[in-house]
């Protein structure tokens, strides 16, 4: 058994603090706490929640509600980033899915089937990305760039052939999933929670998580240890495409229109940010599902807070950039080390 030494109390406390400070959850939670504090000061009544016509209302609910599409995409993105990859095409996958929804509904398919078809399309897109990365061994940024550039065009093409420009549709089932509510809780929250649970089970209750993280950490070593690196990378992009399809359902049903040009625009950037704020590294290695959700919340909280604070909405992007930056800098070990040593020098 590995031996542990009895260290004096001060040293123990210091190492506790160090391990706490380096625990990745600290920074997004601190960021959230800070933003909420500012909210409480600047916008009194920020935290109030009321029930109107059987639904919950309030800023907090709003934050959760609006964060869902990004959060769902971010879950899949976290898996891909864990394998040292990235998927820039999720926005385009959403656009394609939107077009497919409108098309199949107009074609008369039962809506439950449409849902399955859309998820299938997401899987096919993931298969394509996976093929480029795992089989052709193309760098993920450039491989997924291909679908990113052409995907919206594909969506537009589907619309043209089957529905005209920006076809709209009515679908009680899909709209329930997207904007409806079950009891007091918005359905999309439950959807996200279910997706999180499903992914968590898949990754932590099977060996898939270990294989994904080992491929991300050192693909060569993993394959020598018997992991089928190709198949694992495929799986990662499949999962990401699947999650993007779900986000596509939520976003499209929300507007009940297919708009391939602007649907999910820049969502890949927000998703990547969510993963990074949640502690994931673009260099691969670890998948933090829960913290990714936290990261998505941080981003949305920022946006909503700015809106409610009375600041002109134009300030949104700038504040977002600054805060995200601050979190990243603090997470960066270099900076912490430099600040820490500067602090120690001044107090010694």
Residues between 152 and 191 with contacts to other proteins, criterion CB under 8 A: 152-157, 160
- Does 290 participate in binding other proteins (rule CB under 8 A)? no
Q: Which of positions 76-135 make contact with other proteins (CB under 8 A)?
A: 86
Min CB(38)–other proteins separation in Å: 18
**Whole-number CA gyration radius for the chain:** 22
Q: Which of positions 189-228 make contact with other proteins (CB under 8 A)?
A: 205-208, 210-211, 213-214, 217-218, 220-228
- Does 321 participate in binding other proteins (rule CB under 8 A)? yes
* CA 198 centroid distance within chain: 15
Site size with other proteins, rule: CB under 8 A: 71
Q: Determine phi and psi for 56, rounding to 5 degrees.
A: -80, 140
- Does 286 participate in binding other proteins (rule CB under 8 A)? yes
Min CB(184)–other proteins separation in Å: 34
CA end-to-end span of the chain, whole Å? 38
- Does 67 participate in binding other proteins (rule CB under 8 A)? no
Min CB(6)–other proteins separation in Å: 14
> Cα(235)–Cα(252) distance, rounded to whole angstroms?
25
DSSP 43: S
Nearer to other proteins among residue 227 and residue 296 (C-beta)? 227
Residue 231 Cα distances to 93, 127, 224, 226, angstroms: 21, 11, 14, 12
Q: Determine phi and psi for 181, rounding to 5 degrees.
A: -145, 150
Which residues are CB-neighbours of 21 under 8 A, at least 6 positions away?
A: 336
Min CB(58)–other proteins separation in Å: 27
Q: Which of positions 12-31 make contact with other proteins (CB under 8 A)?
A: none
Please answer whether residues 217 and 211 qualify as being in contact, where contact means their C-beta atoms are separated by less than 8 angstroms: no
Residue among 176, 186, 166, 216 nearest 68 (CA): 186
Nearer to other proteins among residue 46 and residue 288 (C-beta)? 288
Min CB(310)–other proteins separation in Å: 15
Min CB(142)–other proteins separation in Å: 5
Q: Which of positions 240-269 make contact with other proteins (CB under 8 A)?
A: 269
The beta strand positions in 71-153, using DSSP E, are none
Among 8, 314, 344, 346, binds other proteins (CB under 8 A): 314
> Cα(123)–Cα(245) distance, rounded to whole angstroms?
8
> Cα(31)–Cα(291) distance, rounded to whole angstroms?
13
Min CB(346)–other proteins separation in Å: 21
Among 6, 334, 346, 347, binds other proteins (CB under 8 A): 334
Among 119, 133, 191, 272, binds other proteins (CB under 8 A): 272
């Amino acid at each position: 058994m590995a031996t542990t030494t009895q260290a004096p109390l001060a040293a123990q406390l210091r190492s506790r603090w160090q391990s706490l400070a380096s625990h990745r959850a600290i920074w997004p939670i601190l960021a959230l706490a800070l933003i909420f504090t500012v909210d409480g000061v600047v916008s009194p009544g920020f935290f109030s929640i009321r029930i109107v016509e059987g639904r919950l209302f309030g800023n907090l609910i709003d934050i959760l509600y609006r964060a869902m599409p990004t959060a769902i995409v971010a879950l899949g993105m976290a898996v891909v980033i864990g394998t040292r990859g990235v998927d820039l095409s999720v926005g385009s996958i959403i656009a394609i899915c939107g077009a497919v929804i409108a098309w199949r509904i107009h074609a008369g398919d039962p809506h439950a089937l449409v849902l399955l078809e859309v998820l299938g399309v997401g899987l096919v897109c993931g298969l394509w990305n996976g093929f480029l990365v795992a089989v052709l061994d193309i760098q993920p940024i450039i491989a997924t760039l291909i679908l990113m550039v052409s995907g919206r065009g594909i969506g537009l093409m589907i619309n043209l052939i089957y529905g005209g420009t920006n076809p709209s549709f009515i679908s009680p089932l899909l709209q329930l999933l997207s904007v409806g509510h079950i009891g007091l809780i918005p359905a999309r929250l439950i959807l996200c929670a279910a997706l999180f649970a499903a992914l968590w089970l898949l990754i932590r209750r099977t060996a898939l998580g270990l294989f994904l993280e080992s491929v991300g950490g050192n693909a060569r070593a993993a394959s020598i240890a018997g992991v089928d690196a190709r198949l694992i990378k495929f799986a990662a992009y499949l999962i990401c495409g699947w999650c993007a399809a779900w986000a596509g359902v939520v976003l499209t049903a929300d507007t009940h229109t297919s708009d391939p040009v602007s649907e999910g625009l820049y969502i890949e950037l927000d998703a990547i940010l969510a993963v990074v704020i949640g502690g994931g590294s673009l260099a691969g290695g670890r998948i933090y599902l829960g913290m990714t959700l936290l990261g998505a919340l941080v981003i949305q909280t920022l946006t909503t807070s700015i809106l409610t604070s009375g600041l002109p909405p134009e300030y949104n992007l700038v504040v977002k950039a600054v805060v995200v930056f601050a979190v990243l800098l603090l997470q960066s070990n270099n900076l912490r080390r430099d600040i820490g040593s500067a602090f120690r020098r001044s107090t010694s």
